[in-house]
Structure formats: structure tokens, C-alpha cells
Amino acid sequence: MPAHAVVFNAGDTDHDLLVVQSGHITLVTQWPPDKGLRLATVGPGMAFGEMAFLNGAARTASAGVERGTAHLVRLSRAHFDAWARQHPEAALTVMNNLAQIGARRLAVTTRQLRAVLE
């Protein structure tokens, strides 16, 4: 994925979970990054898009490559659900890890909101 490529926009309705194989992805409230609030940057081995993957709702943020290139692995919810039926214990571990990622990101967002409001 080349520089300035958008992975998804806030409001998109796909529900895929993405994992960064190489490069970095910027998560912002609005793409391009200079028009929105930066939420996070994720790098190799990190997952993103977990909120839509977990709850099936529209994307709440935009994601893209600001600089360089990135390679991603995409996992659809349908493929995960089929795998989870065969491997329920492993699926529970994945879901627990996704919940922890979401909780950490929510804590960061809460701190950012407090800083703006105080």
C-alpha cells in the first residue's frame, strides 16, 4: 500500500480486522491526517479496525498510510467466525486480546479528551 493510501474512512461499513505486516498506519478522525485528530499509529504486528470487527457498526475513524508503504493482512468477520467454530479456545483468546486493545485505545482517547477539555 503506497504513501497517502486510505485503508478505510470513518463511516465505511466493512467489518474486517487488519494486521500490519510492515510499515505504519495512521488512525485519525478524518482523512487526510491534517484535517482530523490523530488517534494512534500502528506498526508491524499490531491490529486495527477491531471496533467494527467486534460490533459490526460503521468505522469510527479513518486509517491510512502517511509515509512510505505498508503491507496488511485482512481478516473478515465471516472467516473468523468459521475458524472460531473449529477452534473455540483460540478464538476466545483472540477476542480477549481485541478487547484489551480496544480498552487501551479508549483510555488514550479519554486522556486526549480530558486534555482538550481542561
CB 28 within 8 A of CB 36: yes
Quick one: which H or E segment has residue 94? helix 88-117
> What's the confidence (pLDDT) of residue 1?
81
Mean pLDDT, range 21-46, rounded to an integer: 90
In single-letter form, the type of residue at position 116 comes to V
In order of start, what are the domains of the chain with their CATH numbers? 6-117 (2.60.120.10)
Question: How would residue 41 be classed by pLDDT, with cut points 50, 70 and 90?
Answer: very high
Sign of the dihedral defined by the CA atoms of residues 31, 37, 40, 43, in that order = positive
More confident: 80 or 36: 80
Closest to 21 (Cα-Cα) out of 37, 53, 45: 45
In this prediction the pTM is 0.85
Q: What is the mean pLDDT of residues 88-116?
A: 89
Give helix 77-86 / helix 88-117 axis angle, nearest 10°.
140
Q: What is the pLDDT of residues 2-25, one digit of tens each?
A: 778 999 999 999 999 999 999 999
